[in-house]
């Protein structure tokens, strides 16, 4: 309460303006609030710096109205610096956090939720530097070049030698063919005229280039020092304007004391309860003494007559209000909470006019906690991919933090709005060019250690009867127990289904490839945990599409928070029956929709994993549920805290003008960091919708 005024210590008025109501003696809530007890104000802001200051004022009357205004100041840092060219200047600046100031006036009798959205601009750094040109400076090694580049000249001026003009053939020879003399002369040849030395040159000397064109550098024009001063002398102010402090009017001594000499105000109005509370406590005791004893008689300390509890009467009416779920017999949790099924409360995204999100994206090396600078990152998974995959762009200076070393691949931790992924950097690409050098990295979940090339292959024949879960556990046993991999099995039941002897075999498979065969054979799919070394086994259809409307969804999502929607129509055959059977052993089952004749059958499915009736039923339901009129709906969503990460196999209820259900098939999350520090994060989820 920013407008609180202490009461007069000599005249404290206790105004109880509300009627006395019963209070739970085991849960007494002391609420020292103002008149806006029925008003619930919620504020969230997306800011670059983690400081948010909110002031709210609320009033209450018979009418209902609300008026809000917000002002956000963006911190601006201005620095003036003067440095010579040979000096290195380092500037360390600390920008105060943006302060969000909101004044709210609300008039409300019934409780009203008011929500505000504020996005604080990123801090702006502005640097002004003056360069003094009118000084003598020597060359330094910081320029990075041994010579100064000269202006480019034509080819003739830049050649070491100039090509001479080509002479005619007779002039280029040292002597030429003589003409035959007549016989009477008695001479066989005539002496040729010898060419001069100038005509016999293979080339001629090039003209010397003037020295002015080959200077390494030219003398800069000297500027007047007066026009290039780093600063100028300010006019002297009067003595009154230049005082550091001004004298304040002295107040009375009682206002200057560190403590006021009041008669203990805190005790006068700050006690934890008042007389009304004591009256209610008297009403809640089990019994009380009817009257004071008369003179000469003592109080009976026996406590009077204690009431006897009523006799217990049993009943056979078993009312199960919570869903049946698998319970670990070694870890049974008895939760006596306010809600009888706390783990079955449906998460719901509230409908609001404005949603507030504070995006945060970071990448860290797990081995030593070293932060890795990011430009952008994308991560995703779908029903057909058993692990998460990611890619990111980093500055070139971060290469040594992510490339493999003697210990193997680098493990990194990605944090997007509080959601954590553990990934292996399996590949990196360099891209170096002038003024724009970066690297691209990519990788998969830590469960990639169970696949090639990090895991070995083997061939296997199942010679004894077992269960599908045991077969999968045996594949994990091939990997060193020090790596700590485990299975989260949620297909049919905790043990899967029965597998007769000699039902399954394979050749040259890695552990994860073998587990994938087991899971898909029983109508499921394989995924990886976001940050644990754990494989997730899920059914393709946890609930058949024709039962979605009568099933509690995993998340209720309103259209108000959807940023973009796209739809791709798909129409598949509507089968009402299918035959499924094992390969060499197992069972043969006929699965059909209840209430149909089973006359429109899908092609027969043969799989080694169809070992018993439960596996045949689950695989058959998966085949029949995939048909019919449907669409793949893609929704772009913000990374709001009430949404979280929508993983494959989650059932969503979309509310709006018309409600509908969709089963998540894939999710992709992208986050980009601008040069000004602004982070943009989006989550794209693909849903399977049936009509």
Q: Tell me the pLDDT tens digit for each residue of 225-265.
A: 444 555 555 655 554 444 555 455 554 444 444 555 555 44
Residue pLDDT, tens place only, 410-439? 999 999 999 999 999 999 988 776 667 789
> Can you read off the two tokens belonging to residue 107?
């008039």
Q: What is the pLDDT of residue 437?
A: 78
Tell me if 6 sits within 8 A of 263, measured CB to CB.
Answer: no
How many Cβ atoms are within 10 Å of 165's Cβ, its own excluded? 7
Higher-pLDDT residue of 106 and 529 is 529
Mean pLDDT of 542-555: 93
Higher-pLDDT residue of 10 and 238 is 10
Check whether 628 has a pLDDT greater than 90: yes
Higher-pLDDT residue of 99 and 480 is 480
pLDDT above 90: percentage of residues in the chain: 42
Read out DSSP for 60-99?
A: --SS-EEEEEEEEPPPEEEEEEE--TTS-------PPPP-
Q: How does residue 93 score in pLDDT terms, banded at 50, 70 and 90? A: low
Mean pLDDT of 558-567: 93
Taking the alpha carbons at both ends of the chain, their separation in whole angstroms is 54
Check whether 520 has a pLDDT greater than 50: yes
Q: How does residue 657 score in pLDDT terms, banded at 50, 70 and 90? A: confident
Tell me if 74 sits within 8 A of 121, measured CB to CB.
Answer: yes
Note if the bond before 565 is cis, omega within 30 degrees: no
Check whether 442 has a pLDDT greater than 90: yes
Check whether 92 has a pLDDT greater than 80: no
Q: What is the pLDDT of residue 352?
A: 86
Residue pLDDT, tens place only, 271-308? 454 444 444 444 444 555 566 666 665 555 555 667 78
Mean pLDDT of 192-212: 50
Q: State the average pLDDT for the chain.
A: 74
Higher-pLDDT residue of 463 and 332 is 463
| pTM assigned to the model | 0.55
Give the span between the Cα atoms of 566 and 656, in whole angstroms.
Answer: 16
Of 375-384, 426-435, 680-689, which range is least confident?
426-435
Mean pLDDT of 122-140: 56
Mean pLDDT of 48-75: 49
Check whether 615 has a pLDDT greater than 90: yes
């Amino acid at each position: 309460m920013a407008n609180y005024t202490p009461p007069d210590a000599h005249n404290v008025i206790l105004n109880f303006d509300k009627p006395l109501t019963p209070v739970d003696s085991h849960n007494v809530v002391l609420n020292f609030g103002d008149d806006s007890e029925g008003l619930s104000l919620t504020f969230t802001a997306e800011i670059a710096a983690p400081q948010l200051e909110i002031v709210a004022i609320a009033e209450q009357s018979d009418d209902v109205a609300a008026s809000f205004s917000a002002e956000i100041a963006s911190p601006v840092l201005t620095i003036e610096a003067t440095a010579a060219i040979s000096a290195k200047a380092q500037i360390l600046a600390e920008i105060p956090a943006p302060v969000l100031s909101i004044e709210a006036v609300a008039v409300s009798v019934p409780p009203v939720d008011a929500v505000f959205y504020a996005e604080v601009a990123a801090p702006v750094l502005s640097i002004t530097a003056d360069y003094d040109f009118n000084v003598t400076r020597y060359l330094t090694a910081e320029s990075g070049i041994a010579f100064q580049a000269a202006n480019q000249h034509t080819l003739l001026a830049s050649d070491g030698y100039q090509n001479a003009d080509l002479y005619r053939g007779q002039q280029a020879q040292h002597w030429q063919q003589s003409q035959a003399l007549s016989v009477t002369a008695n001479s066989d040849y005539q002496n040729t005229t010898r060419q001069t030395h100038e005509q016999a040159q293979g080339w001629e000397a090039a003209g010397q280039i003037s020295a002015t064109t080959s200077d390494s550098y030219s003398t800069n024009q000297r500027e007047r020092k007066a026009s290039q001063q780093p600063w100028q002398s300010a006019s002297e102010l009067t003595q009154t304007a230049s005082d550091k402090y001004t004298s304040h009017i002295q107040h009375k001594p009682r206002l200057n004391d560190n403590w006021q000499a009041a008669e203990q105000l805190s005790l006068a109005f700050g006690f934890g309860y008042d007389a009304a509370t004591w009256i209610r406590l008297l009403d809640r005791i089990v019994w009380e003494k009817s009257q004071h004893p008369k003179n000469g008689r003592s109080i009976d300390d026996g406590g009077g007559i204690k009431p006897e509890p009523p006799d217990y009467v049993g009943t056979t009416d078993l009312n199960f209000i919570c869903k049946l779920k698998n319970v670990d017999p070694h870890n049974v949790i008895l939760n006596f909470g306010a809600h009888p099924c706390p783990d079955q409360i449906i998460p719901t995204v509230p409908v609001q006019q404005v949603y507030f999100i504070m995006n945060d994206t970071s990448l860290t090396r797990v081995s030593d906690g070293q932060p890795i600078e990011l430009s952008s990152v994308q991560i995703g998974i779908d029903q057909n991919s058993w692990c998460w995959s990611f890619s990111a762009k980093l500055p070139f200076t971060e290469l040594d933090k992510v490339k493999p070393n003697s210990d193997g691949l680098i493990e990194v931790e990605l944090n997007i709005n509080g959601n954590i992924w553990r990934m292996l950097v399996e590949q990196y690409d360099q891209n170096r060019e002038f003024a724009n050098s970066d690297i691209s990295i990519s990788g998969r979940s830590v469960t990639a250690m169970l696949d090639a090339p990090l895991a070995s292959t083997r061939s296997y024949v199942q010679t004894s009867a077992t269960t599908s879960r045991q077969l999968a556990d045996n594949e994990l046993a091939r990997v060193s127990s020090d790596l700590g991999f485990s299975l989260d099995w949620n297909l049919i039941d905790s043990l899967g289904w029965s597998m007769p002897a000699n039902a399954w075999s394979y050749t040259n498979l890695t552990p994860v490839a073998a587990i994938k065969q087991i899971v898909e054979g029983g109508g499921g799919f394989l995924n990886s945990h976001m940050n644990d070394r754990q494989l997730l086994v899920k059914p393709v259809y946890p609930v058949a599409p024709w039962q979605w409307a009568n099933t509690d969804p995993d998340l209720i999502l309103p259209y108000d928070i959807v940023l973009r929607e796209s739809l791709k129509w798909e129409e598949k055959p509507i089968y009402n029956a299918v035959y499924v059977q094992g390969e060499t052993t197992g069972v043969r089952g006929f699965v059909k929709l209840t209430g149909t004749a089973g006359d429109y059958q899908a092609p027969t499915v043969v799989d080694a994993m169809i070992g018993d009736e439960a596996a045949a039923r689950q695989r058959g339901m998966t085949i029949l549920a995939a048909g019919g009129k449907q669409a793949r709906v893609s929704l772009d969503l913000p990374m709001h805290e009430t949404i979280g990460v929508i993983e494959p196999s989650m059932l969503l209820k979309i509310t709006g003008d018309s409600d509908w259900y969709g089963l998540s098939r894939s999710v992709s999350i992208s986050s980009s960091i601008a040069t000004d520090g602004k982070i943009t994060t989006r989550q794209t989820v693909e849903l399977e919708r049936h009509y």
